[in-house]
Chain A
């Protein structure tokens, strides 16, 4: 997967690149408007992360340039502007998603994966992790052809884990992903434990290995055992 990160804040850009790299992913970066324009004209990507406030120009202009070039890249806008208008105009202009800063890197990764999936498999939408197979259109989870019944939240959680496999995902990020960041939740995210426990139980009972591990009390990780 080839990703272009257009973000002027170097520190943030670096974190994103480090998080996204690996597993055969390649990241390129652009820190200014002109740099970004040059890259989108020269190369092709699977997904472009686009910050709207850039030195040298408006990020939305880059978006329209991408569309003018008839490029098929997925575009995920990352903006500090929590503005409904920006979001709407961004999506109207052809962006695939809009993520407001600050965000969890795990959320960013999950969104990118979703965009790339939608772009690449326009028919059947399948996802898998070892013996766990997901049919995203039918919203079904099978383990060695055996159907596993999950609740909506458990299903979302599983996709989130697979999208961020090998990474520690914080409870905070999971809570925001499943319940939305508008909810003014208590700061105690331990109730997530129940959901993770149920998911693990169901997967193991269906014959999968127990891939999800608790990490230092901060979060969880899905990884090969």
Chain B
């Protein structure tokens, strides 16, 4: 549930309850006040009747009253009447209809004879008043609720829009990209604070990430110099004299290990560079030509393991860095060779927008981790970075690189 919705609901329910209760109290209070006023009027009439009877020794004629009706009834001796206010019907002779009324029943004594006196007054006016007040209250209630709803809907939406814009930017936040969280300008302190915190956090995360990356980058760079020295010293060592085949084998082992270390370092640097988008020689690449060149370049390696290569190529032009296109194909080709078995086959199919390289190899499929860094089978002699680099290259250009194990073949698909 959205905050606004939640707030709206609470707001509306509370407003409704309070307004209803107020309405009821209002109604009761006004009813009480108006009844009190009617009763007071009735008492004035009663006093008048009593005064007239006392002074004149007779009853006032019922016809002498305006807006109210008075009836007399002779009481038998000893019968007493309790003075009492009550609600009764009132017959309006002008309008010839029965209206709600209020009556006062009392008694008056004239010359020892008791009379019951009933004074009635119409309540129509006060009822009308109550009704009017009720209608106004209802109208106000409805108006208030509607305006609350509208305020919530439009004003709240506008007030919260900086929040949603910040949220959107936080969602889209990419650690590797340089774009900052640029919040909508707002006068609301909380949102400004949120934006400030979000930006501070982003900056901190970026800084940590950058430091980590710089560290990797620098470490790899720094390692290159000693590696270059070892490599050159080995080359020099080899020229110094005669070695036995045993020594030769040792030197070769060192070369191999150094070669792997160099390769690993270069791969790490390359990964960092792709991530930082530092490779910019984007150009039109004729994939068909490039794939053919690669097949030719790898020819000797195919022959070495007696692999057969099947090619089916259609024209396909891609916009990307030549350097990275080279590396992508190199990685996929060497992968297909490396994880093949002797006498196996490699199939390269290029169609517009799709490159498939499949190879024979181990019977079981590979797990999903294969695109992760340093994920490699125990028997693999590679750096474990080849596929991670390939994936990164594809991600950089919005291509997708997927793997599937189909009919006992390992298949890598690049959708351009």
Q: Mark A109-153, 1 if CB is under 8 A from B, else 0.
A: 000000000000000000000000000000000000000000001
B232 touches A216 (CB 8 A): no
Q: How many residues of B contact A (CB 8 A)?
A: 56
Distance in Å: Cβ of B375 to nearest Cβ of chain A: 15
B391 CB–A CB distance under 8 Å: no
A9 CB–B CB distance under 8 Å: yes
Given contacts A184-B263, A218-B252, contact A170 B235 (CB under 8 A): yes
B162 CB–A CB distance under 8 Å: no
A168 touches B297 (CB 8 A): no
B269 CB–A CB distance under 8 Å: yes
Q: Mark A158-196, 1 if CB is under 8 A from B, else 0.
A: 000000000110111100000110111111000100110
A187 touches B304 (CB 8 A): no
Chain B residues 223 to 259 lying within 8 A of chain A, measured CB to CB, are 224-225, 227-233, 235-236, 238-239, 243-245, 247-249, 251-252, 255-256, 258-259
A170 touches B238 (CB 8 A): yes
Contacts between the two chains (Cβ within 8 Å), count: 133
A217 touches B300 (CB 8 A): no
Distance in Å: Cβ of A164 to nearest Cβ of chain B: 10
A77 CB–B CB distance under 8 Å: no
Which residues of chain B come closer than 8 Å to A218, judged between CB atoms?
238, 243, 248, 251-252, 255
Q: How far is the CA of A8 from the CA of B173 in the complex (A)?
A: 42
B214 CB–A CB distance under 8 Å: no
A208 CB–B CB distance under 8 Å: no
A11 touches B255 (CB 8 A): no
Which residues of chain A come closer than 8 Å to B334, judged between CB atoms?
183-185
B338 CB–A CB distance under 8 Å: yes
Of A12-20, A28-36, A67-75, the one touching chain B: A12-20
Residue of A nearest to B232 (CB): A15
Q: Identify A184's interface contact among B224, B235, B382, CB under 8 A.
A: B382
Q: How far is the CA of A194 from the CA of B299 in the complex (A)?
A: 13
B251 touches A216 (CB 8 A): yes
Residue with the greatest number of chain A CB neighbours at <10 A, chosen from B248, B326, B337, B383: B248
A209 CB–B CB distance under 8 Å: no
A204 CB–B CB distance under 8 Å: no
Which residues of chain A come closer than 8 Å to B337, judged between CB atoms?
186
B29 CB–A CB distance under 8 Å: no
Q: Identify B245's interface contact among A182, A187, A217, CB under 8 A.
A: A217
A93 CB–B CB distance under 8 Å: no
Q: Identify B233's interface contact among A11, A82, A153, A185, CB under 8 A.
A: A11
Which residues of chain A come closer than 8 Å to B277, judged between CB atoms?
none
Report 13 cross-chain contacts, Cβ distance below 8 Å, ordered by A residue. Answer: A9-B228, A80-B225, A101-B225, A101-B228, A102-B228, A102-B258, A104-B235, A172-B255, A184-B331, A187-B381, A215-B238, A216-B248, A217-B249
Task: Give A residues with C-beta under 8 Å from B.
Answer: 9, 11-12, 15-16, 18-19, 80-85, 88, 101-106, 153, 167-168, 170-173, 179-180, 182-187, 191, 194-195, 215-219
8 pairs of A and B residues whose beta carbons are closest in the complex: A216-B248, A102-B228, A15-B232, A191-B304, A105-B235, A101-B228, A102-B231, A184-B334
What would 17 more interface pairs be, CB under 8 Å, given A18-B239, A215-B248, A218-B255?
A9-B229, A18-B236, A84-B278, A101-B224, A102-B224, A102-B232, A103-B228, A104-B235, A168-B239, A172-B255, A182-B326, A184-B335, A186-B301, A191-B304, A216-B245, A217-B245, A218-B248
Task: Give B residues with C-beta under 8 Å from A.
Answer: 221, 224-225, 227-233, 235-236, 238-239, 243-245, 247-249, 251-252, 255-256, 258-260, 262-263, 266, 269-270, 273, 278-281, 297-298, 300-301, 303-304, 323, 326-327, 330-331, 334-335, 337-338, 381-383, 386
